[in-house]
Amino acid sequence: MELIPAPRNVGAYGERFFELGPDTRLAAGAGTERTARWLRGTIGAATGFPLAPGDGGIRLSVHPTVTRDLGEEGYRLAVTPDTVHLVGGGPAGLFWGAQTLRQLLGPGAHRRAPLPGGQWRLPLTHIQDSPRFPWRGVMLDVSRHFMPKDGVLRHLDLMAAHKLNVFHFHLTDDQGWRIEIKRYPKLTEVGSWRARTKFGHRASQRWEEKPHGGFYTQDDIREIVAYAAERHITVVPEIDIPGHSQAAIAAYPELGNSDVIDTTSLTVWDDWGVSKNVLAPTDNTLRFYEGVFEELLELFPADAAAFSAFVHIGGDECAKDQWKQSPAVQARIKELGLTDEDALQAWFVRHFGTWLAARGRRLIGWDEILEGGSRADGTRAEATHAAGTRAPGVETADIGLPEGAAVSSWRGYQGGITAARAGHDVVMCPEQQVYLDHRQDDGADEPVPIGYVRTLEDVYRFEPVPPQLTEDEARHVLGTQANLWTEVMEDHARVDYQAFPRLAAFAEVAWSALPAPAERDFADFERRMTAHYGRLDALGVAYRPPAGPLPWQRRPGVLGRPIEGPPPNA
């Protein structure tokens, strides 16, 4: 069976089938309502069959024995000649099982209307399945290039089709602020539009000379969150602080270091890279962002979903030049009893970690939040594990993390290793392995080549858990995440190209119980991908074909930034 991601256990029984037809009924037990609704909306649309309520075909249920054996996200699927019984460990597990059922029906089940002459058969089988990691994420940057709401909803559907369950929503950066905050209307009136956009890498001299931008209204955000929840996907929002904040400073100049530069002259940044314009560490800035987060928490409520309490605060690539030059910032460092600008950033992060924790939320940030933290008097707070036991020889102040904070380890594995050893949860997303904006081949036709070559096989052999971690430390690895930064992805077709088919390989890494990287059967994965390309075609995904980019996917003459050689195992 050409299923992706590969299930844990599959039994196939002969050449017979269960046939769906216009009289096939759908019996939905308690706790299965979302999946029943989804099946009628997708399988029903693709087949033209109503899947009316009642016995005599497909039966959905949630059962504690599956929960006990396979967990909340596990499922069992049994197909006999007369019935299809799908049982989830919880509502999420049931939904992931429905995705498997859809794949078994063939590529046509991924269309929105029936094709003439279609046969709808399920092979007789028994499948038991559950995920390896609870956090199976995708980060989408909508700040560098805005993706309209319909594109985001489509992206969520593609995640669901691959059993990915955390959508990291990168909403703010130097190049654009994408979420409506009612108490600060200029964030979107000013901060959501830039005058022009660089085409290609930041060294390129090509520009698109027209305004670019857009934002999501609060009702748009509520819709996106609800749409994701229907598909058992948790949305983790990111508001980037204290760096990557030029769009916010352009809207509200008092947020910047006005004793160093004329912040009133700043505009939303139209270039790529790391802006030197960062937030000033004033009480006014703290109160401003507390107001932002107050509205954000209402839009992204914490509920029963496993990771709904998380809020991402960025924390990466905060240039310290202005802080070093600013008399006001140097006075602030002295006032707070801090040693230097790194410690000031750690103070900034800890402030919002404490603020979020008081409201029942958890801070997560890029691995730079590990840095800094020492006070001028040399005092240090000892790190603790989640269960409250001390992590021997590791101090929270040394790594700059507030208690309960989690780390997105992007600069390699080391940040995640350090955090896990200090008792903090980790999401592994090293840029050398799973930054899908990096190029897929070293051929001359690869569009806007960025970073290392990361082929489909490279992603398939990615291992999220570093071997340096002990078994107890490895329990802090919540899972893994693929990241899509959109500097050179101007629309959803370019996002599709960079994401697929590699995101299918990543989904298997995140879900399936694979052997060690060198022992993985990539030939079998490629065989299954042959069928999966048909599903992607039916879904309208503009993926990179195995033979290379199609003529309209190329970007001749657009400067990239390729890095030669294999990536370091950092």
What is the C-alpha end-to-end distance of the chain, expressed in Å? 37
Angle among Cα 19, 114, 31 to the nearest 5 degrees reads 65
> How far are the Cα atoms of 25, 87, 103, 326, 535 from residue 121, in angstroms, in the given order?
15, 19, 11, 69, 16
Q: Cα separation of 382 and 476, whole Å? A: 18
Using alpha carbons, select from 406, 462, 459, 463 the residue that is nearest to residue 437.
Answer: 459
- Three-class secondary structure assignment of 22-83: CCCEEEECCCCHHHHHHHHHHHHHHHCCCCCECCCEEEEEECHHHHHHHCCCCEEEEECCCC
Q: Cα separation of 36 and 363, whole Å? A: 34
How many other CB atoms sit within 10 Å of the CB of residue 69? Answer: 13
Q: Cα separation of 392 and 517, whole Å? A: 31
Catalytic-labelled residue, pool 244, 312, 476, 532: 244
- Three-class secondary structure assignment of 251-309: HCHHHCCCCCCCHHHCCCCCCCCCCCCCCCCCHHHHHHHHHHHHHHHHHCCCCCCCCCC
Q: Which residues pair with 426 in a beta bridge?
A: 407, 477
Catalytic-labelled residue, pool 317, 403, 441, 526: 317
Catalytic site residue 438? no
Catalytic-labelled residue, pool 73, 173, 368, 425: 173
Q: Can the peptide bond before residue 5 be classed as cis, meaning omega within 30 degrees of 0?
A: yes
Q: Cα separation of 34 and 231, whole Å? A: 8
The residue to which tokens 């409201």 are assigned: 359
Catalytic site residue 244? yes
Is 402 within 8 Å of 357 (Cβ atoms)? yes
The residue to which tokens 């087949």 are assigned: 47
Using alpha carbons, select from 462, 459, 456, 446 the residue that is nearest to residue 533.
Answer: 456
Catalytic site residue 209? no
> How far are the Cα atoms of 142, 175, 178, 291, 482 from residue 211, in angstroms, in the given order?
15, 12, 15, 28, 29
Q: Which residues pair with 194 in a beta bridge?
A: 212
User: Looking at the chain, how many residues does it have?
Assistant: 570
Is 302 within 8 Å of 229 (Cβ atoms)? no
Token pair recorded at residue 453? 């070559």
Burial 378-397 (b: 16+ CB within 10 A, else e): eeeeebbbeeeeebeebbbb
The residue to which tokens 């003529």 are assigned: 551
Residues assigned a catalytic role: 173, 244, 317
